[in-house]
Amino acid sequence: MPRQRPRTRSPCPAGSASSRGWRVAPAQRGRADAGASPWHPLSGNPRNVDPALSAHGPAANAGKVHRLSDECIHGFEDGLCAICFPKPAPEVPAKPAAVRRAPASRTSGRATPSRTAGASRGKPIQVGTQRLYHVTHIKNLPAILSDGALLADAGAQSAHPSVDVSSAAGRETRRSVDVAGRPVAGFVPFFLSPHARVWDSLRSREPDPRLAGDAGHYAPAEFVILVTGAAAALATGESAVADRDAALPLTRFGTGRDGSERMLHSLLADAEGEALLDAEFLVADAFPISSVALIGVSDEKVRDVVKRHLAEAGTNTKVAVYPPWFRKADEPLA
C-alpha cells in the first residue's frame, strides 16, 4: 500500500490553487494549476473538506478536489488543531460584590421635650409616673400641714390661704365652670410641668389675668412646690384632667379614672411638651399631704424653714433644693 504524503502546505505563487488553501489530488494537479478545475474556491465553504470525499487513500481520491483549512498551518481541519484553535478558557463566574452595611447609629433621633419631661417617641407612655406640681406660698404651708391635706377652694372643707396670689376674677370664673357635676374650684389643681405658664408668669413677675395684682411683689424663692405622681393622684378618688386652663370655655376634660388617664396619655404624646405647660390635673375636694413625695425649694435657707414646719407637724416628707424650678424660663443659669 503506497504511503500517504502528509498534508502540508508548500510555498506557492500568489493566485495559485495551493496559495488559496486548497489542494488537488496528484492526478489532477496539472489541470488544476492550469485553471481547469471544476471546483472554485468561492463555490461553497472553503474551510470544510468536500463531504463527497468519503473514501480514504490516494487511489480513492485521485482526481478529486480536497478543500483544507485556510487557517490551520499544520494541515488539520478547522477545530481539530489545538494550536491554531485553542480551547477557550473556562469562564469563571464573577463573584457578587460584597454588600457593605452602614453601621447602626448609636444616637437616638427621638425629639427631646424643650421645656418639660414630655413623652418620648418610640417608648410606651407610662401615665402613672408623670409628676404633678402644686405651687403655694411658704406661709400657707403650716395650715396645709395642720389640715393634713391640700384643700380645694370650694370643696367640702374650703381652704383659706394666708397668701393668695390668684385674682378674684379668676377664682370667680373657676367657681362658675362645672366639671363632672362640681365646679372647677371644687378641685385641688396641679400643674403637669414645673415650668407651667402661669407659674412662669409669677416667677417672672409678668402680668397675667389669673394672678392677683400684687402677686409680683413676692419673690419666687418665697414659694414651695409640692410634688406627687399621677398614680397617687388617680388613687385618691375623683379626678379630672384639663388640656389647658380649666376655666377657659374651649377646654377639654377627661373625667373619672379612665377619662383622666386617656387625656393624660394624649397630653404626654406631645413630644415637645408644649401641651403640658397649660394643662391641669384636678383632684376633687382634697389631696392628702401623706401622698406628697417631696417638696421643692429654691435654696438651703428655705429648706431649713420647711423642715422645721414638717418636724412640728410630725411629717417626714423629703425636701429638695432645686433652683431651676424657681427661675423664669429665659433666665440663664448662674
Q: Which residues carry a binding-site annotation? A: 134-136, 151, 174
- The CA-based dihedral angle spanning residues 121, 124, 125, 127, taken in that order and rounded to the nearest 10 degrees: -170
Say which of 67, 197, 238, 280 is annotated catalytic: 280
Say which of 23, 174, 203, 210 is annotated catalytic: 174
> Which run of H or E residues covers position 32?
helix 29-33
Measured between alpha carbons, how far is 226 from 232 in angstroms, rounded to an integer?
13
All cell numbers assigned to 180: 363632672
Burial of 38 (0-12, 13-18, 19+ CB in 10 A): exposed
252 catalytic per annotation: no
Phi, psi of 282 (to 5 degrees): -115, 130
115 catalytic per annotation: no
Q: Residues forming the annotated binding site for NAD(+)?
A: 134-136, 151, 174
β-partners of residue 225 are 135, 296
Whole-Å CA distances, 33 to 18, 43, 66, 79, 151: 9, 18, 14, 28, 134
Sign of CA dihedral 75, 79, 81, 85: positive
Nearest to 210 by CA among 239, 183, 244, 254: 244
Q: Are 195 and 291 within 8 A, CB to CB?
A: no
Classified as helix, coil or strand, 173 is helix
Classified as helix, coil or strand, 184 is helix
Measured between alpha carbons, how far is 131 from 136 in angstroms, rounded to an integer?
17
β-partners of residue 321 are 297
Q: Are 189 and 246 within 8 A, CB to CB?
A: yes
Q: CB within 8 A of 263, min separation 6: which ones?
A: 241, 242, 243, 252, 253, 254
Catalytic residues, which ones? 174, 280
